[in-house]
Amino acid sequence: MNGPATLTRHSADTRPVAAWLALVVLALAAVACAEGEPPGALPEVPAFEGSIDLEIGEMNGDDPYLFTRIADIVADGRGRVLVADGQTSEIRVFESDGTFAFRFGGHGEGPGELSDICCLAFGPGGELWVREGARYSVFTLDAASAGYRRGVRSLHPGMIGVRDPFTFDADGNLVNVGPVRGEGGTNLTAQLRGVTARLHLDTDGAVDTVVLADAERQSTGQATTEFERGGFTGIYYLHHPFGPTWIHAHAHGGAWAEAITSAYSINYHSPDGTVSLIEGPPLEGPVLSPEERATAQFRIERELDVSGLDDHPFGIPDRKPPLEGMFFDTDGRLWVEKTVADGDETREADVWAGTELVARYRWPRRMEELPSPWATESLLYGVTTDSLGVQRVARVRFEPNN
């Protein structure tokens, strides 16, 4: 392998926020101070406390309760829980009390068969859409079975294994989120990396592409180095351990949001195309524990070994970023999850309706969210994993914290 030719590094970039927005933030801070509140403080809102009230899955038992890799979870209007099992390529349906009801799909390429399952969502007509590597399969559900209706080719021709979510816009058209290739040029990294975009499929078949942020912003906390081996040229990816990253979330109906985890500053895109700023307090992330620092050092050494570099482009930070991630619930509210310290047992999220803070939620940390969590005003679905690596579907139920 020849030595790396170039190294491109990306760190947190707050420049996309326009200057006039900064003036607005200063004005709001002045108003808050005039009212006796600390600058940037969020208002008091109703708080909800969550506890796990249902877990589905067994290490030993009946086949429907043995999960290989849980890819996604949604719930239907009957309260049934639909689970996409990645390795068996099937959807398993459970009643609201966790009792197995039926399954459908199974590995294959034919109508009604599934492969490389990524994500689940209900379309505007109530049909269940299943995103696979190269297509979508659409099903209708009744009391005891699922019926295959049609297939839709992916909006990423020739690309498989896409793991980003999908939604539907205000007109009910499919919105495919995923990578698009970089545009030509001599920069190999730009060509191979590409950028993440929203691809809108109109009823006439036309595709409208909206890039979510510029390539540098999307690559925050990453670096690339080119390599050549056996006549093949490619790139290695290196990551800032516990460093800032770019995140994005998408709601049914057309709204979406994006941010850098290093600051509570979120660009909120309304369905009509207007962009607003959600600005939280100047939070500091939790300090890295000794165990986390050891993990970071191991990651750095592993990437240096793989890439052949002598020096890593990133160091180990003292603190983690203040934001962990964000997602939309079924009512179109944006959950902004804060980073927790190593050893903490509770997660916390601020919940926004548009740009108005409306609630704050807390729930057990041992339940891990999936890439596109299914949440309602009172429920949140995710996965728990025991010490043996056995996955279980978990449901958190929220109650007002009086």
pLDDT digits (tens, 9 = 90+) for 239-254: 999 999 999 999 999 9
Q: Which of 44-58, 163-177, 284-298 has the lowest mean pLDDT?
A: 163-177
Edge to edge, the sheet with strand 265-269 lists 246-250, 256-260, 265-269, 275-279
**DSSP state, residue 189:** H
* Contact residues for 157 (Cβ-Cβ < 8 A; gap 6+): none
Indicate if the pLDDT at residue 61 is higher than 70: no
Q: What are phi and psi of 34, to 5 degrees?
A: -65, -30
Indicate if the pLDDT at residue 171 is higher than 60: yes
Residue that wins the pLDDT comparison between 98 and 23? 98
Say what the pLDDT of residue 195 is: 85
Q: The pTM is what?
A: 0.87
State the DSSP H helix or E strand holding residue 304, giving kind and residue range, or none if neither: helix 290-307
The model's confidence at residue 277, banded by pLDDT at 50, 70 and 90, is very high
Radius of gyration of the chain (CA): 22
Mean of pLDDT values over 348-363:
97
Residue type, 83: V
What does each C-alpha distance from 13 to 2, 183, 265, 317 come to in angstroms?
Answer: 32, 22, 11, 17
Q: Which of 14-18, 96-100, 166-170 has the lowest mean pLDDT?
A: 14-18
The model's confidence at residue 160, banded by pLDDT at 50, 70 and 90, is very low
List the structure tokens of 133: 């590597």
Say what the pLDDT of residue 371 is: 85
Indicate if the pLDDT at residue 361 is higher than 50: yes
What does each C-alpha distance from 79 to 90, 345, 364, 371, 388 come to in angstroms?
Answer: 19, 28, 22, 21, 29
127, 149 in Cβ contact below 8 A? yes
DSSP string, 359-390: EEEEEETTSBPPSS-EE-SSEEEEEEE-TT--
Mean of pLDDT values over 21-42:
46
The model's confidence at residue 28, banded by pLDDT at 50, 70 and 90, is very low
Residue type, 196: T
DSSP string, 213-261: S-HHHHTTTEEEEEEEETTEEEEEEEE-TT---EEEEE-TTS-EEEEET
Q: What are phi and psi of 29, to 5 degrees?
A: -65, -40
Edge to edge, the sheet with strand 374-375 lists 323-328, 334-338, 346-353, 356-364, 47-56, 391-400, 379-385, 374-375
* Contact residues for 32 (Cβ-Cβ < 8 A; gap 6+): 38, 39, 40, 41
* Contact residues for 153 (Cβ-Cβ < 8 A; gap 6+): 134, 135, 136
Overall size of the chain counted in residues? 402
Say what the pLDDT of residue 135 is: 86
* Contact residues for 152 (Cβ-Cβ < 8 A; gap 6+): 135, 136, 138, 174
235, 224 in Cβ contact below 8 A? yes
* Torsion-angle region of 80 (φ positive above 0: left; ψ -120 to 50: alpha; else: beta): beta
Residue that wins the pLDDT comparison between 37 and 217? 217
List the structure tokens of 41: 């403080």
293-349: per-residue pLDDT in tens? 999 999 999 999 988 899 999 999 999 999 999 999 999 999 999 999 999 999 999
Indicate if the pLDDT at residue 164 is higher than 80: no
CA distance 32 to 259: 24
Q: Which of 8-17, 180-189, 350-359 has the highest mean pLDDT?
A: 350-359
Q: Which domains does the chain have, with CATH numbers?
A: 7-22+47-400 (2.120.10.30)
CA distance 44 to 25: 19
Say what the pLDDT of residue 163 is: 67
Say what the pLDDT of residue 193 is: 60
